[in-house]
Structure formats: structure tokens, C-alpha cells
Structure 1
Amino acid sequence: MKKILITGATGQLGSELSVLSSNYPQYEWVFADRTKATLNNLELLQSQIEEIKPDYIFNCGAYTAVDKAESEKDLAFVINQYAVALIAKYTAENNAKLIHISTDYVFDGSSSIALNEEAETNPINIYGESKLAGEKACLKENPESIIIRTSWVYSKFGNNFVKTMQRLMQEREEINVVNDQIGSPTYAADLAQAMIDIVQSSKWISGIYNYSNEGEISWYEFALSIKELGNYNCKVGAISSLSYPTPAKRPNFSLLDKTKIKSNYHLHIPTYKESLKKMFV
């Protein structure tokens, strides 16, 4: 029986994989939270992975506090680069396979067309820098890895934009949301299924892939969809990023082109609205 190790098991993606895992009893699933896969302690992490002896690793764990990373650069790089290098090296040396999760924040947001996997990277914040460094370390240590860049992840689990909007729209009469950052949301359950589909597939085609739900929207438009599905009375206003300054800059445009993952793995990717509805069921 093949063993799949999931790091970051209590995060949004790890939690969705946990839900789906019961549909795939042919695998032994090891869900490792920070105590079982300690990404900020490389020596400990090495011994933990060696003890588990996985055939596949889904590296869903990451330092994801985008604004905090501006003041915690060292920690962000330990988790997002050095731990990734260690995991990739293990898989290369032990004939295991790695799916590593990355982000649209490796881009600077200056594009006006959907970004494919060959698009030039140029991160504009520490989080994006650390994730890009992780991608490079991953492919250097194990060129046979699969890296999936994703964007605007949300889920019934953890903290995310959708849950924040649901709460605020019930608490307040009016909220403002930025309307000049364009991309597409990713329902973590869809991404989790795509990862399993890749493992289930008869082929392993290494390299970088993009995955998000279909559609091109702003955060403001995403908030309007949440309002509509939740039937909330809250008034939603549109503001520019300049009116909502944050410690870390965000890319203004990071829509991902999914052609490669759809053609290589014949995946059906739902529209963002189809998947958002599942949050309200």
C-alpha cells in the first residue's frame, strides 16, 4: 500500500484532503500537523520524514502570513524554501514523488493576460520571494517534482476571505472591498481533488502547473458573489488598493492560465461560482 504524507494537515488544503481521503482506501494517508512535520525545524523534519517513509508527499504546509512575513523574513524562508529543499531532496533520494503547493504571489501583477507557467516571475513581497525560492529549491533538488501554483484559496476550514466576508456581512451594515486586484479564487476541495487525480493518473509529468477555479474577477466582485449566495443585506462598496494599505504589496493581476494542467491531466475545473456555492450548502 502506497503511503501519502500530507504536511500542513490542519490547513485549508490539508483539511480538504483529509475529507477526501476516505474515498481512497487504497492509500495509507499520514496527516502531519506542525508536531509531526515540523517545517521550521529542519533537523527534526528530516528525522520525521525518514520515520514516516512516504511514497508521496503533498507539501501543503507553508508560511502564509503575507503581511507578517515582511517582518519575519527568516522564518518565512526556513519554511517556504529550506524545508521545501529538504523534502524535495528526500523524495529524490528515496524514489518518492512530491507535489508542492506554490502561489500566484510569485508574479508582480503587471500582466494583463492570464499567466501561464512560463510567465516571468518577479515577486513584490517577502512571502512571494520565499515561495519562489521554494519552487527553485524544489526543482533543483528533485526535477521530477510537480509544483502547483494556486491563488485566493478558501475552504470551509481555516481562515480565509470567504469566511471573513460571511462574518462581516452579518455583523456590519456596510463594508468596502478592493476592486483593482484581479485573479480567480480556488476552492481548496477542488485543488485537493486535482492532486489526488494526478496521483491516480497513469502518468507523472513533472514541472510547474497552475490551478485555480475558472473565471476572472476582483476581490470586490468575489465579495458580491458571497453576498448574493448568502443573501446578506450588507452594502458592499468598491475601493482601490491605495485606500487599503497593507504591510505587503499584492499583485494587481494574477489570473492563472490552467491550460497545461487541463491538457496533461484531463481535469475538469469548475467555475468559481459553482465551487463557491458548495461553501453555502
Structure 2
Amino acid sequence: MSDQIQNNATGKIAIVTGGGRGLGRATALSLAAAGTDMIITYRSNRQEADTVVNTISATGRRAVAVQLDAGNIASFEAFAAQVQSILLGKWGRDSFDFLVNNAGTYYPGPIGQITEESFDQLCNVHFKGVLFLTQQLLSLIADGGRIVNLSSGLTRFAGPGSAAYASMKGAIEVLTRYMAKELAGRGITVNVVAPGAIETDFGGGLVRDNDQVNKMIAASTALGRAGLPGDIGPMIAALLSDANRWVTAQRIEVSGGMFL
């Protein structure tokens, strides 16, 4: 499979939001291993992003890190112009091929304690931001390109304290189907990947660092452990390969079988 992805992805360019850490980093590195060049975004930690760029460059692929606050919708027009300039300057192209809307944040809280501020921040990053960033980049996505949006296993099973976050991800799953329908005329496929609980620093590193939580998740998962970033990145790279060119408007859960 890896050789097939390598051959099919060569010469492609991807944008991965939040590509400096966690699932975004794993996705960027997996795509680079498959022969894809990269623009990754970061919100504040330039050092992490530069490390990913250097790792990708060491493989012979080209990569650039660009600052982006995925919840600051007013900045997206300038970001799109910056992407256009980078594409022309670094690749001599006026388009890119893959968009992975991965950037995310998390504000836990039971329904009775959700604040309007945290709700708005979740909405801006996970729903409104995805919609309007994609809108700004539509003219730069090549016909026949691919979009992958990130959701969560929490849209299928309920975890106390995650109502607002999971609701935004549920909205993304509906948006994905509409994107797939409306962009089909350009041959652009759009799918949503829903990870289960993954050992990253997301949510303060709860799954990774809290042994009790980690064991609970392992006991609730068919394959007997919590997920790792390396379980998700290669799957997204595979989804973006030509082998999956006929897959669109699908929700694909990558959870190891949580709460079956």
C-alpha cells in the first residue's frame, strides 16, 4: 500500500492546518513519506512547525510553515493571498491538491457550565473557521483535488463534558456532505475522518498523561488500547491516494473500535 500511495501522490501539494503537532504533524509526515509537498500552518509555536518542516525537507520533499489562527476568520483572505504567493514562488504553480482541515482546540465543560466565550471559540475553530477557510481557498484547490475534514468519535458516542465540542464536529460532518455535493462538478472529493481517543497533548494531554483515563479508553476499545497519532496520519495519507479516488461524502471513524 505504501508504495502505491508513494507513486500516486508524487508531485502533489497539501495544506495541513495545525500541522506542527499531534494529528496534524502525523498527517504531514505521512503525506511527505508518500511523496507530497506541504504547507503546514501553526497558531503560535513556530519552533514546532519548523521542526516538522525540517523533518519533511530531510526526506527530499518541500515544505513551508505559515502562521494561521484557524479561528480568526478575518485573517483568511490574507492567508489565501499568502498561499498563492508561496505556491508561485516555491512551486511555480497556482494551485494545490489536498486540504486537510485539522486545526483544533478543546474547552471541556458540562452543559450547565458551558460559557458563551468557549462556545464561540469552539465554533470559530471547528465549524465557522473550516467553512470560511475552505471558501477562501476554493479558487486555489486544483480540479480533481481532495479535502479531508477532521471530526471526532464523540459524534457517535457521548462523553460527558464534550457537548459543545462534539456538536461542532457533528456540524462538520453535515458540512462535509454538502461540500462533497457542491464541489463534485470540479472532481473534488470531500470526506471526514473521525478519530477516537488519541494520545496527544490535545485537551491538556488527558488521554496521553492520565493513566486512569488511558486504561478506561483501552478497556472500551475493541483493539485494546488508546489511539496514537501514527494510527491517524497514515490513514489520511491513504485516503488522499488515487486508490481512494471514488470515495466522497463519507465519515470514516478511526478509533480502534471504541464503544462497539
Query: Which TM-score tier does this pair reach, normalised by the shorter chain?
Result: 0.5 to 0.7
Measured after TM superposition, the shift of residue 189 of structure 1 is 0.9
Is 1:31 the counterpart of 2:40 in the alignment? yes
Is 1:145 the counterpart of 2:186 in the alignment? no
Q: Secondary structure at the match of 1:186?
A: coil
Query: Which of 53, 67, 79 is the matching residue for 2:109?
Result: 67
1:135 maps to a residue whose letter is E
Is 1:104 the counterpart of 2:153 in the alignment? yes
Alignment gaps of 5+ in structure 1: 111-122, 169-174, 217-252, 256-281
Tell me whether 56-65 or 66-75 shows the greater mean CA deviation: 66-75
What's 1:5 paired with?
Answer: 15
Q: Secondary structure at the match of 1:39?
A: coil
Measured after TM superposition, the shift of residue 183 of structure 1 is 4.3
TM-score (norm 2): 0.63
RMSD across aligned positions (CA): 3.5
What's 1:128 paired with?
Answer: 166
Q: Secondary structure at the match of 2:250?
A: strand
Alignment of 1:256-267 (within 5 A): none
Query: 1:160 & 1:81 partners in 2: Cα distance?
Result: 23
Query: 1:100 & 1:84 partners in 2: Cα distance?
Result: 8
Change (3 A) 1:39 1:156: closer
Q: Secondary structure at the match of 1:75?
A: helix
Alignment gaps of 5+ in structure 2: 1-10, 45-66, 85-95, 182-188
Q: Do the aligned residues in 2 keep the contact of 1:14 with 1:60 (CA within 8 Å)?
A: yes
TM-score (norm 1): 0.58
Measured after TM superposition, the shift of residue 159 of structure 1 is 4.9
2:148 maps to a residue whose letter is I
Measured after TM superposition, the shift of residue 43 of structure 1 is 2.1
Query: 1:47 & 1:13 partners in 2: Cα distance?
Result: 25
1:28 maps to a residue whose letter is D
Q: Do the aligned residues in 2 keep the contact of 1:91 with 1:97 (CA within 8 Å)?
A: no
Q: Secondary structure at the match of 1:78?
A: helix
Change (3 A) 1:47 1:142: farther
**Deviations 1:53-99, CA, capped at 9 Å, x for gaps:** 43211111122233399321011111111111123334554434211
**Deviations 1:189-238, CA, capped at 9 Å, x for gaps:** 1210011112223332112232325355xxxxxxxxxxxxxxxxxxxxxx
Q: Do the aligned residues in 2 keep the contact of 1:154 with 1:162 (CA within 8 Å)?
A: yes
Change (3 A) 1:157 1:64: closer
Q: Secondary structure at the match of 1:58?
A: strand
Query: 2:177 & 2:131 partners in 1: Cα distance?
Result: 9
Q: Secondary structure at the match of 1:97?
A: strand
Query: 2:119 & 2:197 partners in 1: Cα distance?
Result: 22
Q: Secondary structure at the match of 1:57?
A: strand
Query: 2:98 & 2:164 partners in 1: Cα distance?
Result: 29
Query: 1:191 & 1:4 partners in 2: Cα distance?
Result: 16
Query: 1:208 & 1:52 partners in 2: Cα distance?
Result: 28
| Residues matched between the structures, number | 198
Greater gyration radius = 1
What's 1:16 paired with?
Answer: 26
